[in-house]
Amino acid sequence: MSDHFRVLGIHDNHNASVSLLEDGAIVFSLQEERLNGIKNFNGFPSRAVHRALDFAQITLDDIDLFAFGTVHNPAWKDTAAQIRQYSAPTWKKYLADGFKASPFFSLYTAKRARQRQKFLATQGIPADRTRFYDHNLTHAATALCCSGFYGTPALILALDGGGDGNCAGVYTSRDGDLAKVAVTKEGNSVGNLYAVSTFYMGMMPLEHEYKLMGMAPYSQPKYYEGMSRALDHILSVDGLTFRRSTVATTSNSFRALEAIYRRQRFDAVCAALQDFTERSVTRWVQNAIAATGLHRICLSGGVFMNVKLNKLIASLPGVEELFVMPSCGDESNAMGAAFLAYKEHCAALGTDPVIHPLSHLYLGEAFGDETIRSECRNAGYTFEKDGNINRFVAEMLNQNRIVARCSGRSEWGARALGNRSILANPKSFETVSKINDAIKMRDFWMPFAGSVMEEAAGRYLVNPRKIPSPYMMLAFDTTRERESIRAATHPRDRTIRPQILPREQNPDYHAIISEFSRMTGTGCVLNTSFNLHGSPMVYHPREALETLTKSDLDILVMGDYVIRKET
Q: Which residues are at the interface with Fe ion (CB under 5 A)?
A: 160, 163, 330
Q: What angle do CA 361, 366, 370 make, to 5 degrees?
A: 170
Residue 466 CB, shortest distance to Fe ion, in Å, is 30
Residue 264 CB, shortest distance to Fe ion, in Å, is 30
Give the chain's radius of gyration (CA, Å).
23
Strand partners, 424: 526
- Compare residues 32 and 160 and give the one whose CB is closer to Fe ion: 160
- Compare residues 22 and 160 and give the one whose CB is closer to Fe ion: 160
Beta-carbon-side half-sphere exposure of residue 97 (alpha carbons within 13 Å): 18
- Compare residues 139 and 434 and give the one whose CB is closer to Fe ion: 139
Contact 64/5 with Cβ under 8 angstroms?
Answer: yes
- Compare residues 42 and 419 and give the one whose CB is closer to Fe ion: 42
User: Please, what's the b/e burial string for 490-503 (b: 16 or more CB within 10 A of its CB; e: otherwise)?
Assistant: bbeeebbbbbbbbe
HEC secondary structure over 430-459: HHHHHHHHHHHCCCCCCCCEEEEEHHHHHH
Spell out the residues 6+ positions from residue 527 whose beta carbon is closer than 8 angstroms to its own: 416, 417, 418, 421, 422, 423, 448, 449, 450, 451, 488, 499
Residue 545 CB, shortest distance to Fe ion, in Å, is 35
For residue 10, the surrounding DSSP H or E stretch is strand 6-11
Beta-carbon-side half-sphere exposure of residue 454 (alpha carbons within 13 Å): 15
- Compare residues 191 and 541 and give the one whose CB is closer to Fe ion: 191
Residue 13 CB, shortest distance to Fe ion, in Å, is 9
Contact 525/513 with Cβ under 8 angstroms?
Answer: yes
User: Please, what's the b/e burial string for 147-168 (b: 16 or more CB within 10 A of its CB; e: otherwise)?
Assistant: bbbbeeebbbbbbbbbbbbbbb
Give the CB-nearest residue to Fe ion. Answer: 160
- Compare residues 163 and 447 and give the one whose CB is closer to Fe ion: 163
Coil, helix or strand for 353?
Answer: coil
Spell out the residues 6+ positions from residue 420 whose beta carbon is closer than 8 angstroms to its own: 405, 406, 410, 411, 529, 530, 531, 537, 538, 539, 544
Residue 139 CB, shortest distance to Fe ion, in Å, is 6
Looking at residue 76, the DSSP 8-state letter turns out to be P
- Compare residues 163 and 470 and give the one whose CB is closer to Fe ion: 163
Residue 11 CB, shortest distance to Fe ion, in Å, is 9
Residue 356 CB, shortest distance to Fe ion, in Å, is 23
Residue 497 CB, shortest distance to Fe ion, in Å, is 21
- Compare residues 65 and 167 and give the one whose CB is closer to Fe ion: 167
Residue 159 CB, shortest distance to Fe ion, in Å, is 9
- Compare residues 325 and 501 and give the one whose CB is closer to Fe ion: 325
For residue 498, the surrounding DSSP H or E stretch is strand 498-501
Residue 330 CB, shortest distance to Fe ion, in Å, is 4
Residue 334 CB, shortest distance to Fe ion, in Å, is 12
Contact 522/426 with Cβ under 8 angstroms?
Answer: yes
HEC secondary structure over 395-411: HHHHCCCCEEEECCCCC
Alpha carbons 402 and 385: distance in angstroms, whole number: 19
Strand partners, 406: 420
Beta-carbon-side half-sphere exposure of residue 547 (alpha carbons within 13 Å): 30
- Compare residues 163 and 217 and give the one whose CB is closer to Fe ion: 163
Spell out the residues 6+ positions from residue 520 whose beta carbon is closer than 8 angstroms to its own: 398, 425, 427
- Compare residues 15 and 514 and give the one whose CB is closer to Fe ion: 15
For residue 261, the surrounding DSSP H or E stretch is helix 254-261
Strand partners, 18: 10, 30
- Compare residues 163 and 187 and give the one whose CB is closer to Fe ion: 163
Residue 88 CB, shortest distance to Fe ion, in Å, is 21
The sign of the dihedral angle between the CA atoms of 227, 229, 231, 233 is: negative
- Compare residues 186 and 365 and give the one whose CB is closer to Fe ion: 186
- Phi/psi of residue 178, each to 5°? -100, 130
Residue 279 CB, shortest distance to Fe ion, in Å, is 22
